[in-house]
Amino acid sequence: MKPVLLRLTALLLILAGVSSCQKTLEPVYPIDIPFTDIYLSGTSCTWKNSSTYPFIINDYEALERVVDCTEGEYLDIDFSTYTLMFVLGFTTTMISDFEKQFKQISDTEYVLYIDITVTGLTMPQSWRCLTRVPKIPDYATVDYIENIHY
């Protein structure tokens, strides 16, 4: 091949590679979202006994509706980076296993899946969970689905 033809071929290959790198891939849903459970043990905080609660917590005012901390102490959450989700529920039988998954199912929709395995032993139990997730946009909707397995 002539040097000019080689240079032209190399230039075309480079341009093809650059243009293919600029394409953005559409996300494939559902996407598993990482989360961290927040525990009150070892803190000066306790659960409040309230029948009303926020599901999504994006500020300390909402957090104070479900958690009571000693004055001057509170959970250290950066609400500019994280969102908390608080969920509570009840079962009529003893809980033997409790698992969660958090998924983004579309650009604007998220779901917290709670799987509870119960025993046959009749023993009413309540459960609560406080979970920290990456900040959820204000325009997004978040639901939770509770599945009880016997």
Q: In this predicted structure, what is the pLDDT of residue 43?
A: 87
Does residue 10 lie within any of the structural domains? Answer: no
Q: Are 108 and 138 in contact (CB under 8 A)?
A: no
Q: How many domains does the chain have?
A: 1
Looking at residue 41, its pLDDT comes to: 87
Confirm whether 113 is domain-assigned.
yes
DSSP per-residue string spanning the chain = --HHHHHHHHHHHHHHHHHHHTPPPPP-SSEE---EEE--TTSSEEE---S---SEE-SHHHHTTTEEE-TT------TTTEEEEEEEEEEEEEEEEEEEEEEE-SSSEEEEEEEEEEEEEEEEEEEEEEEEEEPPPTT-EEEEEEEEE-
pLDDT tens-place string over residues 86-119: 998 889 999 999 999 999 999 999 999 999 999 9
Residues 41-95: tens digit of each pLDDT = 888 899 987 666 778 999 999 998 889 988 767 788 999 999 999 998 889 999 9
The tokens for 103 are 């998924």
- Is the pLDDT at 17 greater than 90, yes or no? no
- 67 located within any domain: yes
69 within domain boundaries:
yes
Note if the pTM is more than 0.75. yes
9-13, 16-20, 43-47, 56-60: least confidently modelled range = 16-20
Question: Residue 47 is part of which domain span?
Answer: 27-149
- Does any domain span residue 6? no
Q: Does 18 score more than 60 pLDDT?
A: no
Cis preceding linkage at 30, omega within 30: yes
